[in-house]
Amino acid sequence: MKVALVQKKYYGNTKKTIKKTVKSIKKASIKGCQLVVLQELHQSEYFCQYEDTSLFKYANSWEKDVKFWSKVAKEYNIVLVTSLFEKRTEGLYHNTAVVFEKDGSIAGRYRKMHIPDDPGFYEKFYFTPGDLGFEPIETSIGKLGVLICWDQWYPEAARIMTLKGAELLIYPTAIGWFDEDSQEEKTRQLESWITIQRSHAIANGVPLLSCNRVGFEKDNSGAIDGIHFWGNSFVCDPQGSIIAQAGIRNEILYADIDMQRTKEVRDIWPFLRDRRVEAYGNLLKRYCD
Amino acid sequence: MKVALVQKKYYGNTKKTIKKTVKSIKKASIKGCQLVVLQELHQSEYFCQYEDTSLFKYANSWEKDVKFWSKVAKEYNIVLVTSLFEKRTEGLYHNTAVVFEKDGSIAGRYRKMHIPDDPGFYEKFYFTPGDLGFEPIETSIGKLGVLICWDQWYPEAARIMTLKGAELLIYPTAIGWFDEDSQEEKTRQLESWITIQRSHAIANGVPLLSCNRVGFEKDNSGAIDGIHFWGNSFVCDPQGSIIAQAGIRNEILYADIDMQRTKEVRDIWPFLRDRRVEAYGNLLKRYCD
């Protein structure tokens, strides 16, 4: 199965950014891709660098956004994984991935469950933690375990998606470097980010797609310089082996996924067989003190 | 803190193998190591390549073995992680890591919880799954989250150890290649094994030590040629960054672990803060069907 990940910089306004994204989707469709994955909050700047109520404006178009991407999915006849800013009601917002079927219908959606909050990533101000749980989304190309960014650090999320039958793990994400960090620290962070996601593919015997943002975005509050989103979107197989990886630039990353490989890999390394579920109770605790 | 991992081949009999191992422990002690980790079932051949009741002989010395390694730990004034074949009673055996304090006392033990069973690794015949749960072992150098081989594929095990306060994750292991696999498959398997363990360090913000067996061991049943244990023992930091890695030969792998780094890493990437424990109930299921 041919897939594409659209890794893009923010073009200074939503209109231009969306236009460029649609152009990439068109290209991927022409190349025969059945699935296109967009990066986290792909319509706009990454607006969580500081806390400002005026930035909730990006959620005002939520209903229009859903209609728009539905049309795009239908026009290019692809399963499309979007990442939008959901306005549920006044003062209640989510970071939500909406997945569209090839005919433009909504296949399902996932509300980001794990919400970060660190200098430069003030997401707890903007996003209510998801309340839909970890539910794979049934589509014509398979059951998609869609998770978002910070979720990628949690083996629990990937595992539950798998136990619920996810055949692919998919992460729209927006992660990058600060200038103040050393080159060594930057390398460690990028490596950690790739490694933990590859590990979810390995632990669960499923292919994984991670689509990250790229480009520099200034922190308009002036608290920090801004974030250099590190790109490096990638696709790996059920053994965590990388089959395609983007650089640190605008890029459509193509990959060909062998959906039969999961069975082969799980038959030789049957990790699901030997889980000691009766001994896992402490996973439901915050800390065992 | 200075640590050593003793990566060794099997020398054809237990007497010679144990002698060589003790010699390496002595060297590590002279170098100032406070912790020495031995590979899985380091006294003997890896006897699980086929099923034969005569091989339970390796557990007959269990009580003597514990006394022996206690003396070694005391003589060289180290915390010692061993991996032994425990005879609990007739027909009831475990794959057990016994940890000794610097004074030779038993700090604690861990019975392998996840038991593999694949061609060449018939462990379900030999080992009853552990019934002590995932309990870190308190020692003078910190709380050790000792797990064994197949456990390394389970993020659940590493997570529970961490939630119970483990400051280091430690894996005695015995994993290798079959000749019949292609070079590409061998590379993928080794990479998977390294990646999943690094991911436990990352997800939990703790350093990790993995001590693997090395050398070729013939399958005396003739079903397969045998196993080429792939060595590659390694130590990584709480970001999963490898700080020391062995080759595919007899080796004492030394590393210097910065026990303060956990706090620094967890403060910038506070994954434990944001776990959605109320949404993790399905982790206790075999499969959600």
Q: Which residues contact B89 (CB under 8 A, 6 or more apart)?
A: none
* A177-219 pLDDT tens trace: 999 999 999 999 999 999 999 999 999 999 999 999 999 999 9
B206 lies in some domain: yes
B156 lies in some domain: yes
Mean pLDDT of chain B: 97
Residue A14 DSSP SS3: helix
Query: For residue A112, what are the CA distances in angstroms to A220, B66, B119, B202?
Result: 25, 50, 41, 21
Residue A44 DSSP SS3: coil
ipTM of the complex: 0.97
Question: Mean of the pLDDT values across residues A137-153?
Answer: 98
The span from the CA of B199 to the CA of B30, in Å, is 32
Give me the residues paired with residue B244 across strands.
Answer: B235
At A225, is the pLDDT very low, low, confident or very high (cuts 50, 70, 90)? very high
Q: Do A239 and B191 touch (CB under 8 A)?
A: yes
Residue B207: how many CA atoms within 13 Å on its side-chain side? 26
Residue A207 phi, psi (nearest 5): -70, 155
Query: Domain with B25 in it: what CATH number?
Result: 3.60.110.10
At A273, is the pLDDT very low, low, confident or very high (cuts 50, 70, 90)? very high
Neighbours of B174 (CB within 10 A): 27
Tokens encoding B273 = 């803060």
Q: Which residues contact A72 (CB under 8 A, 6 or more apart)?
A: A22, A25, A80, A100
Residue B233 DSSP SS3: coil
The helices-and-strands tally (H runs, E runs) of chain A is 6, 16
Predicted confidence at residue A279, as pLDDT, reads 98
A151 lies in some domain: yes
Query: For residue A96, what are the CA distances in angstroms to A37, A74, A87, A176, B137?
Result: 14, 20, 10, 20, 42
Closest CA to A118 of A178, A172, A38, A44: A178
Residues from chain B that touch A198, judged by Cβ atoms under 8 A, are 195, 199
* B56-74 pLDDT tens trace: 999 999 999 999 999 999 9
Q: Which of A239, A242, A243, A265 to mutate to test the interface with B (most CBs of B within 10 A)?
A: A239
Q: Do A279 and B159 touch (CB under 8 A)?
A: no
Residue A111 DSSP SS3: strand
Residue B273: how many CA atoms within 13 Å on its side-chain side? 12
Q: Which residues contact B43 (CB under 8 A, 6 or more apart)?
A: B14, B17, B18, B21, B58, B65, B84, B85
Predicted confidence at residue B123, as pLDDT, reads 98
Predicted confidence at residue A258, as pLDDT, reads 97
The span from the CA of B124 to the CA of B122, in Å, is 6
State the amino acid at position B178 in one-letter form.
F
**Closest residue in B to A238 (Cα–Cα):** B192
State the amino acid at position B73 in one-letter form.
A
Residue percentage of chain A with pLDDT more than 90: 99
* B1-20 pLDDT tens trace: 999 999 999 999 999 999 99
B289 lies in some domain: no
Active site residue B149: yes
Question: Mean of the pLDDT values across residues B151-163?
Answer: 98
Q: Do B285 and A202 touch (CB under 8 A)?
A: no
Please calculate the CA angle A132-A133-A138 and round it to the nearest 5 degrees. 80
Residues from chain A that touch B160, judged by Cβ atoms under 8 A, are 279-280, 282-283, 288
Mean pLDDT of chain A: 97
At B238, is the pLDDT very low, low, confident or very high (cuts 50, 70, 90)? very high
Q: Which of A150, A192, A237 sits opposite B274 (nearest CB)?
A: A150
Enclosing domain of residue B124:
2-284
**Closest residue in A to B238 (Cα–Cα):** A192
Q: Do B154 and A189 touch (CB under 8 A)?
A: no
* B138-149 pLDDT tens trace: 999 999 999 999
B148 lies in some domain: yes
For residue B36, the distance in angstroms to the closest alpha carbon of chain A comes to: 26
Q: Which of B132, B138, B156, B287 to mutate to test the interface with A (most CBs of A within 10 A)?
A: B156
A264 lies in some domain: yes
Residue A95 phi, psi (nearest 5): -95, 105
* B256-278 pLDDT tens trace: 999 999 999 999 999 999 999 99
Predicted confidence at residue A229, as pLDDT, reads 98
The span from the CA of A175 to the CA of B248, in Å, is 36
**Closest residue in A to B153 (Cα–Cα):** A203
The span from the CA of A250 to the CA of A9, in Å, is 6
Closest CA to A88 of A125, A48, A131: A131
Active site residue B40: yes
Question: Mean of the pLDDT values across residues A24-44?
Answer: 98
Residues from chain B that touch A160, judged by Cβ atoms under 8 A, are 279-280, 282-283, 288
* A57-99 pLDDT tens trace: 999 999 999 999 999 999 999 999 999 999 999 999 999 999 9
Residue B113 DSSP SS3: coil
Residues from chain A that touch B164, judged by Cβ atoms under 8 A, are 282, 288
The span from the CA of B17 to the CA of A287, in Å, is 41
Predicted confidence at residue A142, as pLDDT, reads 97
| Contact assessment for residue B205 and residue B271, using Cβ atoms and an 8 Å cutoff | yes
pTM of the predicted structure, to 2 decimals:
0.98
Q: Which of A184, A202, A234, A268 to mutate to test the interface with B (most CBs of B within 10 A)?
A: A202
| Contact assessment for residue B108 and residue B82, using Cβ atoms and an 8 Å cutoff | no
* A111-132 pLDDT tens trace: 999 999 999 999 999 999 999 9
Q: Residue A176 belongs to what H/E stretch?
A: strand A176-177
| Contact assessment for residue B73 and residue B100, using Cβ atoms and an 8 Å cutoff | yes
A289 lies in some domain: no
Closest CA to A144 of A130, A128, A162: A162
Number of domains in chain A: 1
Closest CA to A9 of A246, A190, A198: A246
Give the position of tokens 């390496």. B24
Give the position of tokens 């939500």. A96
At B183, is the pLDDT very low, low, confident or very high (cuts 50, 70, 90)? very high
**Closest residue in A to B114 (Cα–Cα):** A274
